[in-house]
A = this chain, B = another copy of it.
Amino acid sequence: MPTLTVQLGTRSYSIHIGAGLLARAELLEGQLQKDAVCIITDDNVAPLYLHKLSQALAAFAPRSLVLPHGEPHKNWRTLDFIFRFLLKNSFGRDATLIALGGGVVGDLTGFAAACYQRGISHIQIPTTLLAQVDSSVGGKTAINHRHGKNMIGAFHQPLAVIADTATLTTLPPREVSAGLAEIIKCGLISDEDFFLWLETHVQELLALDPETCVHAITRACEIKVAIVSEDEREQGRRALLNLGHTFGHAIESALGYGEWLHGEAVAAGIAMAADMAVRMDWLKAAEYRRICRLLERAGLPCKPPASLTPMRILEHMRRDKKVRSGRLRLVLPKGIGQAVVSDDFDVKMLGDTLAGRPV
């Protein structure tokens, strides 16, 4: 079982990756207190794994709370539902929340832990591929605001992350593809060899071959962990992890959250960032085609939805958290295996990318 460590001084923690870890309560040894554990999950995941996890943690007499599933619920209303439950059940500052589910459950639970009584502990048990390789790692938590995705949130590191790859077998294929988008992104921004490996293993990943999955998740987490350990609060290099996300968030927010999966929007965003990079002469046209081909083979889109006009996407991009002094900043690939943050591009160029004009 691979175990990675996120090095953040007193807030360092482990990421355990492997099949069947959900039932391995000993991984959380010493991190929980009896009568002070609350498992938070959603109505998709609860019927599948809540009983198993509750059983494994029976010694701590955990309570559990089931949220409605999906991105449209990643908002204040659901957060308040969590707060109400915690207060009514007299959870104190010694409580630990356990997020059992995908990115939405993880983000909501993490942000609830960040704010409840000014901060309590939490543990991430991600059950989707996207959450295992991305959202559960690194301490970013948030809710959406109707004026922008992930606009309200906190950096709040978990006590531990447990990625049980056996939970991926119950994922709809569309969600597997969505997770692959973030894995492909990791290769693209910092590891050409991994990108190449993905090109030769994408079929096994879609088929959820256990060993191939563990390798891909581990490598993606390693890449993310290396960056986060260096720049926890995104003052610099961490922004690279947002490749495809400025376009992607704009697509999600313009379409209405939940219409496209986050990973699907990111995939289109990666392709658009690559298209921009070709216009900037940072990427060869052949590399752009390789990127699109890998995304397509992973079952992902390479273009924004036809229903969105370029203006509409741009309007939502302007609300990105990377905007500084009113200037939009984009993460763009420089070849395969490297990326940069840049605000040094022509607006016309961006317009051409958004409109899908040929390079």
Contact = CB atoms under 8 A, between A and B. Distances in A.
A117 B326 contact: no
A324 B92 CA distance: 6
A152 B115 contact: yes
Contacts of A154: 114-115, 118-119, 154
29 contacts: A76-B76, A76-B80, A83-B145, A83-B147, A83-B151, A87-B145, A87-B147, A90-B326, A92-B321, A92-B323, A92-B324, A92-B326, A93-B321, A93-B322, A94-B324, A115-B153, A115-B154, A116-B151, A116-B152, A118-B141, A118-B142, A118-B153, A118-B154, A118-B155, A118-B233, A118-B321, A119-B154, A119-B155, A154-B154
Given A76-B76, A325-B36, A319 B87 contact: yes
Contacts of A87: 145, 147-148, 151, 319
A238 to B, nearest CB: 11
Interface of A: 33, 35-36, 76, 80, 83-84, 87-88, 90, 92-94, 114-119, 140-142, 145, 147-148, 150-155, 233, 318-319, 321-326
B115 A325 contact: no
A90 B152 contact: no
Contacts of A153: 115, 117-118
A253 to B, nearest CB: 11
Contacts of A36: 325
B118 A84 contact: no
A178 B186 CA distance: 55
Contacts of A116: 151-152
Contacts of A155: 118-119
A325 B94 contact: yes
A127 B125 CA distance: 46
A116 B111 CA distance: 12
Contacts of A321: 92-93, 117-118
A36 B115 CA distance: 25
Contacts of A318: 90
A182 to B, nearest CB: 19
Nearest to A93: B321
A154 B120 CA distance: 10
A88 B147 CA distance: 8
Given A90-B326, A92-B325, A94-B325, 18 more contacts: A36-B325, A83-B145, A83-B151, A87-B148, A87-B319, A90-B318, A92-B321, A93-B322, A94-B324, A115-B115, A115-B152, A115-B154, A117-B151, A117-B321, A118-B153, A118-B233, A118-B321, A119-B233
